[in-house]
Structure 1
Amino acid sequence: MPERDMIFNKRIGRSDVETWLEIPECFADRRNQMDHQSFRRFVNLTDDILLYMTVLDEQPIGGTILFRARDRLGLALLGVRMRGEYIQNLLLSTIKASLPFFRTASIRDVDAIVSSETNPQLPFPRNLFLNPALGSALDEIGFEKVEDVLSIRFENIGFADVQMQDTVKREMSEDIRSFVWKSVGRTMVDCSHTWLSLLRASSDGELHAILGANGVVAVLGLEEYAKGLIVPVIGYEPESIAPLTLASALAYEVDRRKTQWLEIRLIGEEDREVVDSLKGVLCAEPIKTRHSLMRLRI
């Protein structure tokens, strides 16, 4: 009798990262590139970056990458990889195998952001949104759409005659955490990706704050890349800071670093005043891309 195929899923350590990277990104166009140097730094950011691999007859064929947001008691599904010939039969089981089977005291849900871009301009892991073709698979697993979120990009930047607003660099301290808890669901998107971006910016020395009379009134994560400035996370206290002041702080960073474009990776649809203010101070039209924040409640 022929032997049955042996398939299993396992969490892997940092020593298996190179093998994991050899598996192609699920549904991705061959032109999509990964920033390998940035990825290696990313996986060493924290032990809460979790890598899983699916192995069939000793051959790696698929995998996932997740982040455990301890502050929020959740997970973020950041990437799915699989060889094309196995997608139809093994994609769902590969994703499911890396997710919790039941709710625990430390994990209550799993977030995923499904992009509308099939060929994103930013490479993984600077772009942590999933390919749109994965949306139907997440639906089958039980993910539900929470809300639409936006990425906003400005190109061909100029500068209006406004007062530039400086910021101060901060670490992921208790006052920053307190500010974030007050801001998620208001001016910060409430998802595990937000906490990952804060942690990453703090680790890179690029977590910035604007201070008011009573403490932190705005937080910005910044990242320079390819002559541009990425803003992976942004939040502010609307009662304490005007949208124009926040926009001026971003314009100051763009001008100081001499970058040619600016992209806010994750912002809620309700933050139109900030986007309009940026349009004014950067003298550029916003390019908006819509994504879907999806959540699996465990």
Structure 2
Amino acid sequence: MTTMTPEQAAWFAQTFDRLVGNVGQAVLGKAPVVRLALTCMLAEGHLLLEDAPGTGKTMLARSIAASVQGSHNRIQFTPDLLPSDVTGVTIYDQKSGKFDFHPGPIFASIVLADEINRASPKTQSALLEVMEEGRVTVDGVAHETGRPFMVLATQNPIEQAGTYRLPEAQLDRFLMKTSVGYPDHASTVEILSGAAVKDRSSALQPIITTKAVTEMADLGATVHTDTAVLEYVSRLAEETRNAHEVRVGVSVRGALALVRCAKVWAAAHGRNYVLPDDIKELAQPVWGHRFVLDPEAEFAGARPDVVLARIMADVAAPQERASA
């Protein structure tokens, strides 16, 4: 695989910035979160948002879909939601005498899985299987979701009664976890001044096509990652497993996820090579949800973000980069 050229990196960064600016017209004051979400999409992963209601999670999903000329579906997860309500169902057609597949809402470029922790484990598993495989198998027939395909799943940190917590092994399926959070004062005033506009994303014009998104994802994977940086990621992952507060640290899948994201992050900054700083910036959203803390340490007040910050401070980053 040929490495991305500096010219390709410059084009990638310019296009990425245009996408961030376009989404930012609807999701005000949240450029860092938008950059993470777009990085997740171009790294061909899925995003978990843990946030209170009304912070703009649906708007974020709609805006990204509108910016890449893609389709968007929203699935409201409830305890009675069935796996077939997500993936689709095969129905017998009496006229043709054949079984026809009726695709579920999972078949879209950007899928908002709202309050995923309210669905039963069986339905959660059906969604996570599609996320991992990129296809749905019904009655022995596989149906591809296509590219791009990103699930933005949300969890509500309040009102936990009657919810089904995502197991740690399933949390590992998400490439990143972050939160949108409330807008700052100036952004809130701007949102309130446009209160007459119910859906800001409806006015967005597409910046690129879904085909171009696929090309950008393929291009992002060609960013050069020096062996020293890979060794740095490996050492960090090992330290998460050795930390006394951690029962289960970052897996090899988690280490791969960080490298994939770092490649896209580097390209988004106009570089065709990964820096240790890219790893440092992305470690928290990519690794923060992959820890399983020791119950005693957790009871004593240990938090994954604090443990990870200490590990990042303790492990020395490589100082020099070999030329790409």
- Same fold? TM cut 0.5: no
* Structure with more strand by fraction: 1
Q: Point out which structure has higher relative CO (alpha carbons under 8 A, 6+ apart).
A: 2
User: TM-score scaled to structure 2, two decimals?
Assistant: 0.27
* Structure with more helix by fraction: 2
